[in-house]
Amino acid sequence: MVEVASFRIERVEILRADGTLAAPLPAWAEDGAELVRLYRAMVLTRVYDTKSVNLQRTGRLGTVASSLGQEAVAVGTAAAMRPEDVFLPSFREQGAMLWRGVRIEELLTFWGGDERGSNWSGPREDFPICVPVGTHAPHAAGVATAFKLRREPRVAVCVLGDGATSKGDVYEAWNLAGVWRLPMVTVVNDNQWAISVPRSAQTAAATLAQKAIACGMPGIQVDGNDVIAVREVVGRAIERARSGEGPALVEALTYRLADHTTADDARRYRDDAEVSARWKEEPVARLRNFLVARGLWDKEREERLLAECTREVDRAVEAYLARPPAPATDMIDHVFAELPPAMAAQRASILRRAAERAERRSEPRGGRP
């Protein structure tokens, strides 16, 4: 019996749950303004999440997935990227999308059930929200292949959940990234739950980071409730990828404090006690404590920030609600670059249906069906 290979998985922790330092700060984090920027982004995300859940509850938005408690994963990841990198989100990375320039109004438009929300003005090459779990990992590999073939120093960054790590297409994409040395970084938002299925029921792997070993790329754990650590570790992975050294997998350990989505009731399957315990580790208070201890933050600034974020979100909500609906033909006019003549009759039917539905709406109740 000879040993032919050996591997180790490490975890990076910087800020402790109480906001004290477990390890030295990275150089960039000595810049207080930068930390405040990260803090602001997390708070904005939380205000947005709260608002969008409320909008759903009051029937003005469809199902939404709050990122409560996981803001550091999204914000830290986005902050580690360059604008010209490409981001491929799943459905819980609003914090990252906002950082990269997707507008709140656009996010609301999407979750409100209108594809125009994904035609955002911001990062034009970023991928839209991916709902089928993990299916965007191969896209990330494709984007990264494009960068590599064009010799562009850019990186494809993909975020997915602990549940997604059980999908074969995710594994296949990682395996390709490994063997083609693609500039692709995957961040696993390991929030311990895939709806009602706990992390322990997804896989017997002791860490999700070690799944990278199967694909010949580095895997590392990071405290996902510490935005400084996330930004640092993801940043290193991204810059390594940018310099041509290939892909990496970052497992960000965090916790889903909210229900899976507004369509879920987590009390059916997990203990409140577990959730309460995890509240002690959440990323926003953690960074705030650190900022306060460093003299970078105080109650007054906190109040100002909250008011500011609330205003920003409220304004976006107003714009969202005021936006005129898309024309009926929107559903057919973008399917192909040019509408095939064979589909002209269907386009006409859509217009006919639209006219009929409008007429029906305008009729008094009890009118024609």
Ligand X SMILES: Cc1ncc(C[n+]2csc(CCOP(=O)(O)OP(=O)(O)O)c2C)c(N)n1
Catalytic residues: 256, 260, 269
- The H or E element containing residue 161 is strand 156-161
32 or 132: whose CB is closer to another protein?
132
Taking CB under 6 A as the rule, does residue 212 contact ligand X?
A: no
Distance CA 300, CA 296 (A): 12
Q: Of residues 196-255, which lie at the interface with a copy of itself (CB under 8 A)?
A: 200-207, 209-217, 221, 246
For CA atoms 264, 73, 242, 13, give the dihedral sign.
negative
Taking CB under 5 A as the rule, does residue 69 contact Mg ion?
A: no
* CB 163, min distance to ligand X, A: 3
Taking CB under 8 A as the rule, does residue 206 contact another protein?
A: no
Taking CB under 6 A as the rule, does residue 49 contact ligand X?
A: no
DSSP letters along 227-275, please?
HHHHHHHHHHHHHHHHTTS--EEEEEE----S-SSTT--GGGTS-HHHH
* Per-residue contact flags (x/-) with ligand X for residues 90 to 119, judged by CB under 6 A: --x---------------------------
SS3 198: strand
Taking CB under 8 A as the rule, does residue 342 contact another protein?
A: yes
CA angle 56, 62, 63 (to 5 degrees): 85
From the list 161, 183, 219, 235, which residue makes contact with Mg ion (rule: CB under 5 A)? 161
Using CB under 8 A, count the residues that bind a copy of itself.
44
Taking CB under 8 A as the rule, does residue 332 contact a copy of itself?
A: no
Distance CA 253, CA 162 (A): 10
Distance CA 251, CA 161 (A): 9
Q: Which of 172, 209, 205 shows the shortest CA–CA distance to 188? A: 209
Binding site for ligand X (CB under 6 A): 92, 131-133, 160-164, 189, 191, 193-195, 256, 260
Residues making contact with a copy of itself (CB under 8 A) = 1-13, 23, 166-172, 175, 178-179, 181, 200-207, 209-217, 221, 246
